[in-house]
Amino acid sequence: METLRCLISGIPQNILSDIVLNIVQQHENIEVVDRIADSEELDSILKQQSIDVLILGLKTNCLPDFCRDILNRFSDLLIIGLCNDGRMATVYLDDVSSHEIIKIIRTFGKRTDR
């Protein structure tokens, strides 16, 4: 399985950021490229490195304008927005195909891990 390159950004609570980092690092096919506190650095990192997944701390479940710009420039990027102190996650994909919609439904449609 191909290694996914992940960037963690903008999670204001250090303990939540540490938990997310720990969870992601436990999987051998996910490489955490960097963890940054300030989303102002996102643009330069995304230009310099190949990132597959951006885990982003959000205040609400609405995608901020700067993320829309990022998705327009990096259409293959998966953005996972964590809000409500990490109890809610929103997934943002650009240019979603019907195959991807079905895959999302099958993956998350019946959550038995609770």
CATH number at residue 54: 3.40.50.2300
Q: Which domain holds residue 15?
A: 4-108
Residue with tokens 């903008």: 10
Bridge partners, residue 5, by sequence: 31
- Burial label for 5, CB within 10 Å (0-12, 13-18, 19+), is middle
pTM of the model: 0.85
pLDDT band for position 75 (cuts 50, 70, 90): confident
85-112 per-position pLDDT tens digit:
778 888 888 888 899 889 888 887 876 6
Structural domain tally of the chain? Answer: 1
Higher-confidence residue: 55 or 63? 55
Mean pLDDT over 5-23 rounds to 89
Quote the CA–CA distance of 60 and 82 in Å, as a whole number. 9
pLDDT value for 113: 59
Does residue 113 sit within a domain? no
pLDDT value for 51: 94
